[in-house]
């Protein structure tokens, strides 16, 4: 190899190593989506809701917590006492190139009973209500249409009582609640 070509190669290689901007865009095959979207679902015990959504293709992250109430920084004990107005909720982040909100609605409605007011299985209280907390006008429209479609097709023998409300502040639950099913091999279902 001649000396000018070797010098050019060394200079180029040095730039790649020293200059973070030379490779800051990352590899073309990056697994992290360019942009994720968020959705929030309350369907009874949040351990089950998180587990179900975490297994859904296209979902990139799930976090359990509380939303829909007035209490700032609620604790699990406070929410379970049914005085905060918050619902046990799963925050779902998803890659819109791999799934969509409509698919998440399908998962939501097929994994709990949306016809029981403030109850799922043995759990009762407003913290266990069925609710969709939308994060955009598009999600509100899709959720409303999906709920109406299920009602018109009589998919459930009783009236669907799922609330569709704007997302408020989301308060992540205590660490021991995160991925509870994965950690303990059991959940409330």
Predicted local confidence at residue 73, as pLDDT: 97
End-to-end CA distance of the chain: 68
Stated pTM of the model: 0.80
Residues annotated as catalytic (active site), given as ranges: 45
Is the pLDDT at 6 greater than 60? The verdict is no
CB 67 within 8 A of CB 40: yes
Q: Please name every residue paired with 172 in a beta bridge, in sequence order, or none if there are none.
A: 65
Average pLDDT, the chain: 85
How much of the chain exceeds pLDDT 90, in percent?
Answer: 74
Domain boundaries, the chain: 33-184
Is the pLDDT at 93 greater than 50? The verdict is yes
Is the pLDDT at 20 greater than 90? The verdict is no
The pLDDT of 54-60, averaged and rounded, is 97
List of residues 6+ apart from 94 with CB closer than 8 A: 36, 37, 38, 39, 56, 58, 59, 60, 100, 101, 104
Please report which confidence band the pLDDT of residue 28 belongs to, taking 50, 70 and 90 as the band edges. very low
The pLDDT of 123-144, averaged and rounded, is 97
Report whether CATH 3.30.1060.10 matches the domain 33-184: yes
């Amino acid at each position: 190899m001649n000396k000018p070509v070797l010098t050019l190669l060394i200079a180029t290689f040095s730039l790649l190593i020293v200059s973070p901007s030379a490779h800051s865009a990352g590899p073309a095959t990056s697994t992290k989506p360019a942009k994720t979207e968020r959705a929030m679902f309350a369907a009874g015990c949040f351990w089950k809701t998180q587990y179900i959504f975490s297994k859904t293709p296209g979902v990139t992250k799930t976090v359990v917590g509380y939303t829909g109430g007035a209490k700032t920084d609620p604790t699990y004990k406070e929410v379970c006492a049914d005085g905060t107005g918050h619902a046990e909720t799963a925050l779902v982040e998803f890659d819109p190139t791999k799934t969509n909100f409509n698919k998440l609605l399908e998962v939501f409605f097929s994994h709990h009973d949306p016809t029981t007011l403030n109850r799922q299985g043995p759990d009762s209280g407003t913290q266990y209500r069925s609710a969709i907390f939308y994060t955009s006008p598009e999600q509100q429209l899709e959720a409303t249409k999906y709920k109406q479609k299920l009602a018109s097709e009589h998919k459930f023998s009783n009236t669907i009582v799922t609330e569709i409300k704007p997302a408020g502040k989301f308060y992540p639950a205590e660490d021991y609640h995160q991925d509870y099913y994965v950690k303990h091999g059991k959940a409330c279902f």
